[in-house]
């Protein structure tokens, strides 16, 4: 008679799992534990079945919480990315007063890095005719003392600036800039 009772319970518990009392591994009822070989006995009392169902419900809630935390994690990552882009965007404002400089002496500026290098080569060679020709072709401009410019980037010997109210980058020797 005991076997029939175990068989009824067995048919209800075929898909339920439990922890092995010996090693703690998750194992099905009515089978041997894969870790230690301990045989898991199928409970024959209804009270134990309700306990097993309660344990199963707790595991399902835990799995649901894990899915919820995964969703929350995605929201947190998305929010962090958006905040990072907003911070980078606000720091990238090039019209701030900390980037405002004044030209301290009238000088030439070039419209490109290559133009700046050529302009300096003509100045070093003292080739005024080539410098005048370069200026007439529009590769070099004159910028006057006291002109306000925004610093775009600074390098060892030159800087890239933008005239206040303009969107064109200009290359200038760094010694001609004074922070305002």
pLDDT tens-digit map of 48-87: 555 555 555 555 555 555 566 777 888 888 889 988 888 7
Whether the pTM exceeds 0.85: the reply is no
Last residue of a domain, one of 53, 68, 83: 68
In a domain, 84, yes or no: no
In a domain, 41, yes or no: yes
Average pLDDT over all residues of the chain: 76
163 and 151 in contact (C-beta within 8 Å)? no
Partners of residue 135 on adjacent β-strands: none
On whether both 35 and 104 belong to a single domain, the answer is no
CATH number of domain containing 167: 2.30.30
How many domains are contained in the chain?
2
Contacts of 85-92 spanning 24+ positions with Cβ under 8 A: none
Residue 164 CB neighbours (<10 A): 13
Contacts of 92 (CB under 8 A, 6+ apart): none
In a domain, 81, yes or no: no
CA dist., res. 88 & res. 133, Å (int): 42
On whether both 128 and 58 belong to a single domain, the answer is no
User: Domain range holding 26?
Assistant: 2-68
């Amino acid at each position: 008679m005991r076997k029939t009772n175990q068989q009824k319970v067995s048919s209800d518990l075929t898909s339920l799992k439990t922890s092995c009392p010996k090693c703690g591994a998750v194992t099905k009822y009515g089978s041997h534990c894969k870790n230690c070989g301990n045989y898991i006995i199928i409970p024959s009392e209804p009270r134990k079945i309700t306990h097993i169902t309660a344990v199963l419900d707790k595991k399902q809630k835990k799995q649901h919480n894990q899915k919820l935390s995964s969703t929350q994690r995605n929201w947190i990552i998305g929010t962090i990315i958006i905040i990072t882009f907003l911070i980078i965007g606000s720091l990238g404002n090039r019209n701030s007063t900390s980037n405002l400089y004044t030209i301290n002496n009238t000088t030439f500026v070039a419209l490109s890095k290559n133009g700046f290098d050529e302009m300096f080569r003509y100045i070093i060679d003292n080739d005024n005719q080539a410098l005048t020709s370069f200026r007439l072709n529009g590769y070099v401009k004159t910028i006057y003392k006291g002109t306000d410019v925004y610093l775009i980037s600074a390098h060892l010997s030159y800087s890239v600036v933008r005239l206040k109210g303009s969107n064109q980058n200009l290359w200038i020797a760094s010694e001609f800039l004074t922070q305002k």
